[in-house]
């Protein structure tokens, strides 16, 4: 099976981000057919539509990295029932110029991690709304909201909660199946099969 390149975006810039620790743990649990690239969003300038005709090099480089990925994983904390501004800015940058979105058709997965008990539920679903418009098929099940984050890692940042490890394992296994099912290549195969089946028999 072809190796899939997964772009990983972390919505928190904090050095000891629980979302980044969770992403690192998930990568260790993934199968050999997935290759991960953590794509930095910390130094992206704020999106300004005036820049569309002459974009900063950071915009161009970021868009190209997204285009080179087969699928995207988002890890986000919750700020005021939504995603952090830095993540929304990154999403906006790679969606423009209008009609040239780098996100389109790329299968997505969302994990939210929070110090609160709700596990970033609001941010998780607010992000999914944007992904619908971006034409990114987003895995619906299993959902994953990880709460009480300070309790699931040790002082070195290692995941020590076996129940969370089990949830991450199930998530990444399901995600691998999901991206293989809804990839543009596979959808083209489905379309051809449907067209052949629809042909009138002589």
**Spacing of C-alpha 199 from chain mean position:** 38
CATH superfamily, domain 4-198, is: Flavodoxin domain (3.40.50.360)
- C-alpha span between 136 and 118 (Å, rounded): 25
DSSP 112-142: EE-SSTTTTHHHHHHHHHHHHHTT--B--SS
Segments making up each domain of the chain, as ranges: 4-198
What are the pLDDT tens digits along the chain (202 aa)? 689 999 999 999 999 999 999 999 999 999 999 999 999 999 999 999 999 999 999 999 999 999 999 999 999 999 999 999 999 999 999 999 999 999 999 999 999 999 988 888 899 999 999 999 999 999 999 999 999 999 999 999 999 999 999 999 999 999 999 999 986 665 554 444 445 555 555 5
């Amino acid at each position: 099976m072809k190796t899939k390149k997964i772009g990983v975006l972390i919505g928190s810039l904090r050095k000891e981000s629980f979302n980044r620790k969770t992403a690192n743990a998930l990568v260790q649990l993934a199968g050999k057919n997935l290759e991960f690239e953590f794509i930095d969003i910390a130094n992206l300038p704020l999106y300004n539509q005036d820049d569309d005709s002459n974009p900063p090099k950071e915009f161009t480089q970021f868009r190209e990295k997204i285009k080179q990925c087969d699928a995207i994983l988002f890890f986000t904390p919750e700020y005021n029932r939504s995603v952090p501004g830095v993540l929304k800015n990154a999403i906006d940058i790679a969606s423009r110029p209008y009609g040239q979105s780098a996100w389109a058709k790329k299968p997505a997965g969302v994990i939210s991690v929070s110090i609160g008990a709700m596990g970033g539920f609001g941010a998780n679903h607010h992000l999914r709304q944007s992904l619908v418009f971006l034409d990114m098929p987003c895995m619906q099940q299993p959902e994953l909201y990880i709460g009480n984050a300070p309790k699931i890692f040790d002082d070195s940042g290692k995941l020590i909660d076996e129940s969370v490890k089990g949830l991450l394992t199930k998530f990444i296994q399901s995600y691998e199946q999901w991206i293989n099912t809804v990839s543009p290549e596979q959808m083209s195969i489905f379309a051809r099969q449907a067209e052949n089946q629809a042909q009138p028999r002589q």
